[in-house]
Amino acid sequence: MPRPETVLLDNIAGPADLRKMAAKDLPLLAEELRCETIDNVAQTGGHLGAGLGVVELTVALHYVFDTPYDRLIWDVGHQSYPHKIITGRRGKMRSLRQAGGLSGFTKRSESEYDPFGAGHSSTSISAGLGMAMAEKLQAEQDREAGRTHKKRNIIAVIGDGAMSSGMAFEAMNNAGALDANLIVVLNDNDMSIAPPTGAMSAYLARLASAPAYLALRGHARALSRKLPKFFSDTARKTEEYARGFLTGGTLFEELGFYYIGPIDGHNLSHLLPVLKNVRDHSAGSGGQMPVLIHVVTKKGKGYPPAEEARDKYHGVSRFDVKTGEQVKAAANAPSYTRVFADSLVEEARRDEKIVAITAAMPGGTGLDHFAEYFPRRMFDVGIAEGHAVTFAAGLAAEGFKPFVAIYSTFLQRGYDQIVHDVSLQGLPVRFAIDRAGFVGADGATHAGSFDTGFLTALPGFVVAAPADNLELMHIVRTAAAYNDGPISFRYPRGEGEMLDLPRRGEILPIGKGRLMREGSRLALLSFGTLLHEALAAAEALTAEGISTTVADARFAKPLDEELIARLAREHEALISLEEGASNGFGAQVLQFLSRKGLLDAAPGRMGLKIRTLTLPDSYLQHGEQKQVMAQIGLSAAGIVATAKAVLKGEI
């Protein structure tokens, strides 16, 4: 399809150009921006629905506020594509989520218009409050020094789904106590990634649709007359504003915020006067309470395929703009996520104590499939990972068998609860860690690099990683049968191996690995799905005369000490392999070998040459999976190169 005409957008090099436009032209600009967003994501894939829902809001915010001097913070950042387009990055949008290209989220190093990086949810209010306090302190210091100070506005845009996180409420509570000059825009689209769950979404829905509004309209007008003039002026222009006051005070007001809304987030004639009044009030006030503007939007707005889809095209591959049909490569094997879900369903059929928990990611973790069979035994707790962990601990304490299915990167958000509420009490919570390792286009914010390291540090924790989809079936059954404490197992995104899969997995002995092939000079010890790269490397090395053993560790904790000791004693060199950070499986192996003296030289035997291949000690940026793994040496060719260098004494 030809690219859409963008007559107005073509004249926008940045927000300064936007602010020169007449307000009456902004709705047309918004439509061009929406079309441009659709056209770009159709070519690159990425997050679409969230961005389409905030097109008018994006235009209004940049039109009213003096960005980048005024700080505009997008929570999560996946809705920031329209923001990127009108902040000087339009020409690079076709590089989105590709190696060397634009990030799929906001990123400080990418643009001065991204004052705070994001990728995980519910951070914007905390960051905004910190900036607001920095602004307040700077103003005081300038005043004391006799320097001129220009007032800076801080605006945080957060979705209703992100409001289910405790961190957002912690920040709001603190902001109200500090009387911060902070503007929070609540983007209420009734959906974060999955359909909303919990009392917060219901509360917002009640605010937006209170039946009392029509009957008590006159009372609302009378109430608004008692408010400061700049708010009551706005209320007369936007009916939506009055609704929020009919409840006799909102939760946000109790937290110390001045609440305005709900406002139609797709109507610029409603958005602009409210934003201007809030801006002008802030500029003319020496100190005031923080403000929350409740904006109601529609995820996927303006693109029928997105509006009609269940997930509102939250995350998409490349697609045909005309039909909305996504271009997806034919699957050669079931994904790890699907194998996990099918295996958990099979175990749950046999054990009524098995329950499943996710934190706002039922589709991404496969638990939507589990819910089709056991809706009463699947719990989506919202974007609340810490709560998910302790909720699971409570279930485990009462004899149930909870499986917490969560992305590795998001499990980080519940670490204190893992330590204090699960590990310390020895509760048998099962952690199914999806998206472990490098995650391709989602980049550094979503990489699953650290789970092995932070879980093996905990006493009594079983930490496993299946080498393929069949092994994943085995570990799911093993976890279901294991009741002696917490257990985790990690697996990557994407397809598994082409294997014939049984109906049900087998129970594995805890802490026991397996030999895949035997050699005599070099040993490759793999943890997780790098096993198949290790086997390919062994074939190549053996062909060159380097006899190579390959073992699958299966467990990083407890280690198969007998197997590892044998590998150390019977080989000149040992290389451990893992798709994780440097304090993980390899570190466990090194500590064991050191503790047992197996690194030392002995009579008639030289010391063991050992190396650990891990992810590098840096945050890997987005890029194509195989290409990046090859660049960092975690491919068959990279393993071969490392092995040769070790044996030659070059490294």
Q: Annotated catalytic sites, by residue? A: 299, 385, 413
Are 419 and 458 in contact, with CB atoms under 8 Å apart?
Answer: yes
> Do the strands 609-613 and 183-188 form a parallel or antiparallel pair, or are they unpaired?
unpaired
Closest CA to 6 of 25, 23, 19: 25
> Do the strands 462-464 and 487-490 form a parallel or antiparallel pair, or are they unpaired?
parallel
Enumerate the H helices of 290-433 as residue ranges.
Answer: 304-308, 336-350, 362-365, 367-373, 385-397, 408-411, 415-417
Alpha-carbon span 596 to 202, nearest angstrom: 58
Alpha-carbon span 60 to 269, nearest angstrom: 10
**Terminal Cα distance for the chain, rounded:** 53
Structure tokens at 266: 């797709």
Are 99 and 632 in contact, with CB atoms under 8 Å apart?
Answer: no
Amino acid at 266: H
Closest CA to 578 of 632, 522, 538, 511: 632
Alpha-carbon span 650 to 193, nearest angstrom: 49
- Quick one: residue 98, left, alpha or beta (phi over 0 = left, psi -120 to 50 = alpha)? beta
Torsion angle, alpha carbons of 131, 135, 140, 146, to 10: 140
C-alpha pair distances (Å), 416 with each of 413, 436, 455, 525: 8, 20, 11, 31
Which strands form 354-358's sheet, in the order they lie side by side? 378-380, 354-358, 401-407, 430-434, 487-490, 462-464, 555-557
Beta bridge mates, 522? 548, 573
C-alpha pair distances (Å), 445 with each of 106, 468, 473: 10, 25, 28
For the packed helices 166-178 and 124-145, what is the interaxial angle rounded to 10 degrees?
Answer: 20
Are 220 and 242 in contact, with CB atoms under 8 Å apart?
Answer: yes
Amino acid at 456: T
Residues contacting 345, CB < 8 A, separation 6+: 369, 370, 373, 374
Beta bridge mates, 291? 183, 258
Alpha-carbon span 513 to 511, nearest angstrom: 7
